[in-house]
Chains A and B, each alone.
Chain A
Amino acid sequence: MKFAKTFTLLAGGAAMALAANTNANAATDLLVYTAVEADELKGFKNAFEADNPGINIKWVRDSTGIITSKLLAEKENPKADIVWGVAATSLLLLSKHNYFQGYAPKGVEKLDKKYYDTKNKKPLWVGQRAWIASVCYNTVEAGKHKLPLPTSWADLTKPVYKGHVIMPNPNSSGTGFLDVSSWMQMQGEEAAWKYMDALHVNIARYTHSGSKPCKLAAKGEIPIGVSFAYRGAKSKNAGAPLEVVAPIEGVGWDLEAFGIVRNTKNLKAARALADWSVTKKANIIYNEAYAVVAMPGIAKPVKNFPVGIEDKMITNDFQWAADNRIRILDEWRKRYDGKSEPKK
């Protein structure tokens, strides 16, 4: 027991030394958990810090699934100051654990109402921009296998595509889940499961991450990858022989959004980032890569994005998606993850 006590003292001492150390610096280190693609982070950091001297962003970046699990793992003892650029569905899931404190950033009312939390007077989460499902189609490989360009989700279940389609596993990928959730919201659950049963026959395999199907299509590992528009456009810009398709029935989407963590010790800095994130300037930067941003009237078309993709975005019920997530994922796993049944 005495041993434990000594340790506690030592630990406390070390923690205090650390705290003293950070206070000695004039600049505030703001710990930001994010799922924004790695190649964009530097630009955001520079732009924000130029407008807010004295605040230093420290990124914790990982893909949606991983960052969400990290946040959940730390829920008793959150480390982040602000969660920023993470799926709104994840933020809703986290708010069930009372993760966030409400705050209305200055100018939030200028954003499109459907892109932030209007249920609470002080929003728990505020959306920044949408990432939208799309299908990546490799023209070279498709030519080899004589595969026509699919234009709808229904097309992907046609026998000609058997073994030529890859999609992300919704159990690990936010993009995979937004696909499944959008099919359910468009067709109703029962029809959606029937659709996925048929699609499953054609799927070569499910990937862990949402950007991988498109990158695999870009490399020709597979002719067709179900992924999201930004990734497709980016690979196409880099010279991959891709078509980026927004299926005609409508496409699922999720928001990159932020929320201030309830016990942050850097509230002022966190609010500064929140305020900055709803400005016109920030929205213009969002638009450099994404076609749909939270502030209306800002977005300009992005090179190689599917034309008219905004009109195909479904009416998305985030609350429904967050509430039913585990149930849907369990059912999905039961139906499709067990395909690897050992041969007897």
Chain B
Amino acid sequence: MSNGAITTTAAGLAGQTIKPKVSSEDWIMRAVLVGIALYLLITMVFPLYAILSKSFENPDGVFIGLSNYIKFFSTPALFWSIQNSLTVTLITTFIVVPLAFVFAYALTRSCMPFKGLFKGIALIPILMPSLLPAIALVYLFGAQGLIKGALMGQELYGPIGIVMGECIFVFPHVLTILLIAMANADARLYEAAQVLGAGKIKTFFTVTLPGVRYGLVSAFFVGFTLVITDFGVPKVLGGKYNVLATDIYKQVVGRLDFEMGAVVGMVLLVPAVAAFFADRIAQSRQVALLSARAVPYEPKPSRRFDMMMMGFCMLIGALILTVLGTAAFASVAKLWPYNLSFSLNHYDFDLMDGGGWDSYFNTLELAAWVAVIGTMAVFTGAYLVEKSKGFETGRSMMQFLCMIPMAVPGLVLGLAYIFFFNDPDNPLGFIYHTMPILVICTVTHFYTVSHLTAVTALKQMDPEFEAVSSSLKVPFYRTFIRVTVPVCLPAILDISMYLFVNAMTTVSAVVFLYSPDTALASVAMLNMDDAGDTAPAAAMGMLIVGTAAGVRLVHMLLSHGLLRRTQAWRYR
């Protein structure tokens, strides 16, 4: 019987190459795919269209052509922000990329001890809302700062503060990309270089650098996008130095000028989209360095070099720990700087702006929903894009849709949601001011990276799994649940972790969307700092970092156990 089945399938397969037959299973897959595509249309494309058209309207909703844009470009206070934004962003990226490069180099190409520890410390800022390093800098370099002398009389509030804060904020993101780029190297190239008599420096420039050049380019553009769209650091440290991200907020929240907010949003979209495409081009050029015949490169111990690298990592690690430690200290000091005795008063959030302790629990709820729903949607979507048959147009459209969120700054997305979902004619308007809109917005905001992680994991799976199970007449969803999901479990856990942490720390998109019942911890931080309650803001930040770190730890232990069971097949 099984013999017969195989023969028929073989015949079927042969037939398919000539005339693909669409089975009912394919229809299910397509329906789900279309469903997820519709979700992305409604939660991203339509709102973006709403904000675009708003930028061409006056407050009464009448189309007025380019008037708003003309006003933008004829108001120096507004268009100077473009140059300001570009300046601090470029300076930050040019500082961070080399630093992260050396750090990644130390982690991958040296034999220094404590690599895991250093990597762990370097990744801490990922767990913080960007407001937190900025607030810590106030306590370090502000007028009452612990080491304000280090600025040599320069003003913290302005470009200097922004660059310092952004450096800390984006360092781990840039580092992660470079670590991946450097993780694998072909030892044969290094042997060849040695045999040909190339010195260390020459080898570095002819072998190492070319090998990671696309990783470097990618790190550069990702850093660029993160900094130019970041809102937390300039909000706290911008002083009189206006940048685009804070301008959007100021237009909308301060001046009630939604149309100009939309214009600034569109302007901010330009560099973000440009950097996004540049990054895509760089990534598509990246070819596999590791062929099947490659020999993994193993660094050789060299006492002097290893010590140098460790010294560098200690320096960066100390900087990051100082920032975290200062925030922790400030959050428990009674009245900085006049009374530094210990007090937990600043953790009594119910007496402050921002929503009190409820905001913290709302954040946990949001993060949990985003992690669960986001992971399911993203992984299913990625699976269907990768593994469904035929339907090429639909799949490539979907692939394109999945990439857009990365190019859209959170502030733009959040503002777009106001325009789209609070329109009285929108039948979906009932989700405005609720937890679901925050969940939807956050899932969409962080869709792309999660999608790419899922796709990478799925690409590593041999398509024969599907072929074999379909030849055994196992429905695809059973293969999906019984084989694909367990095999990809590490990636699935990573995605849920990524979504959870980002939902906890994000400010930009949700700042326009929270309601009093759904105030969030990160937004509460912003509001407390705005009201001058810097210490409680630091306290809330510590709570976020602590929770994210705790959840991460649980995730590590949990996945360790789970992975041992589900990934045993990977080892002999």
Indicate if the CB atoms of A76 and B241 lie closer than 8 Å. no
- State the CA gap A76–B421 with chains docked (Å): 13
Instruction: Please tell me if B173 contacts chain A, counting CB pairs below 8 Å.
Output: no
- Complex Cα spacing A239 to B532, Å: 16
Is A171 a contact of B254 with CB atoms below 8 Å? Answer: yes
Which residues in A have their C-beta under 8 angstroms from that of B335?
A: 219, 238-240
Contact between A68 and B77, CB atoms less than 8 A apart = no
Contact A339 B253 (CB under 8 A): no
Q: Which of A20-28, A57-65, A250-258, A287-295 contacts B (4 or more CB under 8 A)?
A: A57-65
Which residues of B, 432-453, contact A by the 8 Å Cβ criterion? 433
Q: Is A275 an interface residue (CB 8 A)?
A: no
| Cα–Cα, bound, A209→B428 (Å) | 33
B353 touches A38 (CB 8 A): yes
Q: Chain A residues near B530: list those with CB within 8 A.
A: 63, 207-209, 212
B-chain residues with CB within 8 Å of residue A220 when the two chains form the complex: 143-144, 337-338
Interchain CA distance A191-B163 in the complex, whole Å: 39
Q: Chain A: how many interface residues by the 8 Å CB criterion?
A: 63
B515 near A205 (CB under 8 angstroms)? Answer: no
- Say if the beta carbon of B477 comes within 8 Å of chain A: no
**A137 located at the interface, meaning its Cβ lies under 8 Å from any Cβ of chain B in the complex:** no
A63 and B353 contact, Cβ closer than 8 Å, known pairs A73-B258, A216-B532: yes
Is A69 within 8 A of B252, CB to CB? yes
Q: Which residues of B sit under 8 angstroms from A334, Cβ to Cβ?
A: 75-77
Asked whether, in the complex, the Cβ of B338 is within 8 Å of the Cβ of A66, the reply is: no
B336 at the interface (CB under 8 A from A): yes
B208 at the interface (CB under 8 A from A): no
Q: Which residues of B contact A4 (CB under 8 A)?
A: 427
Tell me which residues across on chain B come within 8 A of A241, comparing CB atoms.
338
Interface centre among B80, B239, B527, B532 (most CB of A within 10 A): B532
Q: Please encode chain A, from 1 to 35, with 1 for each CB lying within 8 Å of some chain B CB and 0 for all others.
A: 00010011001101100100000000000000000
Query: CA of A184 to CA of B241 in the docked complex: distance in angstroms?
Result: 27
CA of A4 to CA of B38 in the docked complex: distance in angstroms?
12
- A214, B532: Cβ atoms closer than 8 Å: yes
Annotate A304-344 by CB proximity to B: 1 below 8 A, 0 otherwise.
Answer: 00000000000000000000000001000110011111100
- A206 CB contacts on chain B under 8 angstroms: 240
CB <8 Å contact, B532 and A60: no
Q: Which of B80, B427, B429 contacts A340 (CB 8 A)?
A: B80
Q: Is B543 an interface residue (CB 8 A)?
A: no
Question: Does B80 contact A74, Cβ atoms closer than 8 Å?
Answer: no
Q: Is the CB of B253 within 8 A of A39?
A: no
Find the B residue at minimum CB distance from A38.
B353
Q: Does B302 contact A (CB under 8 A)?
A: no
Determine whether B393 belongs to the interface, using a CB cutoff of 8 Å to chain A.
no
Does residue A248 face the partner (Cβ distance < 8 Å to B)? no
A172 to B80, CA, bound (A): 19
B: contact size bracket: 35 or more
The answer, among B77, B239, B429, B515, for a CB contact under 8 Å with A333, is B77
User: Whole-angstrom distance from the CB of A74 to the nearest CB of chain B?
Assistant: 7
Residue of A nearest to B254 (CB): A172
With both beta carbons as reference points, the residue of chain B lying nearest to A172 in the complex is identified as: B254
CA separation between A333 and B533, bound complex, in Å?
26
B226 interface hit (Cβ, 8 Å): no
Docked complex Cα distance between A172 and B253 (Å): 7
Contact with A along B137-167 (1 / 0, CB 8 A): 0100011100000000000011000000000
Chain A residues with CB under 8 A of B423: 76
A8 touches B427 (CB 8 A): yes
Within 8 Å of chain B (Cβ to Cβ): is A211?
Answer: yes
Contact check, B240 vs A76: say whether CB atoms are below 8 A apart: no
Given A7-B428, A215-B531, A219-B336, are A342 and B256 also a contact pair (CB < 8 Å)?
A: no
Interface: A79 (CB within 8 A): yes
Report chain A residues within 8 Å CB of B87. 342
Q: Does B351 contact A (CB under 8 A)?
A: yes
CA separation between A37 and B348, bound complex, in Å? 15
Please report the C-alpha to C-alpha distance between residue A338 and residue B77 in the assembled complex, in whole angstroms.
4
A298 within 8 A of B: no
Within 8 Å of chain B (Cβ to Cβ): is A222?
yes
Given the complex of chains A and B, what is the CA–CA distance between A240 and B338 in angstroms? 8
In contact, A39 and B351 (Cβ under 8 angstroms)? yes
Q: Which residues of A contact B197 (CB under 8 A)?
A: none
Residues 410-423 of chain B: 1 if any A CB is under 8 Å from the residue's CB, otherwise 0? 00000000100011
With both chains docked as a complex, state the minimum distance between the C-beta of A206 and any C-beta of chain B, in angstroms.
7
A341 touches B80 (CB 8 A): yes
Contact check, B428 vs A219: say whether CB atoms are below 8 A apart: no
Known: A11-B428, A38-B352, A68-B256. A63 touches B531 (CB 8 A): yes
Q: Which one of B81, B84, B527 has the greatest number of beta carbons of chain A within 10 Å?
A: B527
Any chain A CB within 8 A of the CB of B300?
no
Rounded to whole Å, the gap between the CB of A91 and the closest CB of chain B is: 14
Q: CB-CB < 8 A to A18: which residues of B?
A: 430
Tell which of A4, A72, A214, A241 has the most Cβ of chain B within 10 Å. Answer: A72
Residues on B with C-beta less than 8 A from A69 are 252-254, 256
Tell me the complex Cα distance, A329–B254, Å: 10
Contact among A58, A59, A212 for B531, CB-based, below 8 A? A212
Chain A nearest CB, measured from B429 CB (Å): 8
Tell me if B424 is interfacial: C-beta within 8 Å of chain A: yes
The answer to whether the Cβ of B92 comes within 8 Å of any Cβ in the partner chain is no
B532 & A76 in contact (Cβ 8 Å cutoff): no
B242 CB-CB contact with A under 8 Å? yes
The residue that A11 contacts in the complex, of B80, B84, B427, with Cβ under 8 A, is B427
**Contact between chains at A221 and B353 (CB < 8 Å):** no
Chain A residues in 8 Å Cβ range of B422 = 73-74, 77
* A221 pairs with B143, CB closer than 8 A: yes
Q: Which residues of A contact B572 (CB under 8 A)?
A: none
Q: Which of A60, A172, A212 contacts B250 (CB 8 A)?
A: A172
Are the CB atoms of B424 and A239 closer together than 8 Å?
no
The answer to whether the Cβ of B83 comes within 8 Å of any Cβ in the partner chain is yes
Do B532 and A340 touch across chains, with their CB atoms under 8 A apart?
A: no
Question: Which A residues touch B258, using CB under 8 A?
Answer: 73
- B527 / chain A contacts, CB cutoff of 8 Å: 62-63
Shortest C-beta distance, B362 to chain A (Å), equals 15
Tell me if A169 counts as interface (CB < 8 A to partner B). Answer: yes
A340 neighbours in B (Cβ, 8 Å): 77, 80-81, 84, 158, 240-242
Most chain A Cβ neighbours within 10 Å, of B242, B352, B353: B353
Which 6 A-B pairs give the minimum distances between C-beta atoms? A215-B532, A172-B254, A212-B532, A338-B77, A337-B77, A8-B427
Q: Can you list 21 A-B pairs with a CB-CB distance of less than 8 A?
A: A61-B516, A62-B353, A63-B527, A65-B254, A72-B256, A73-B422, A77-B422, A172-B250, A204-B239, A214-B532, A216-B532, A219-B144, A219-B335, A219-B336, A220-B144, A220-B337, A220-B338, A221-B144, A329-B255, A333-B75, A338-B77
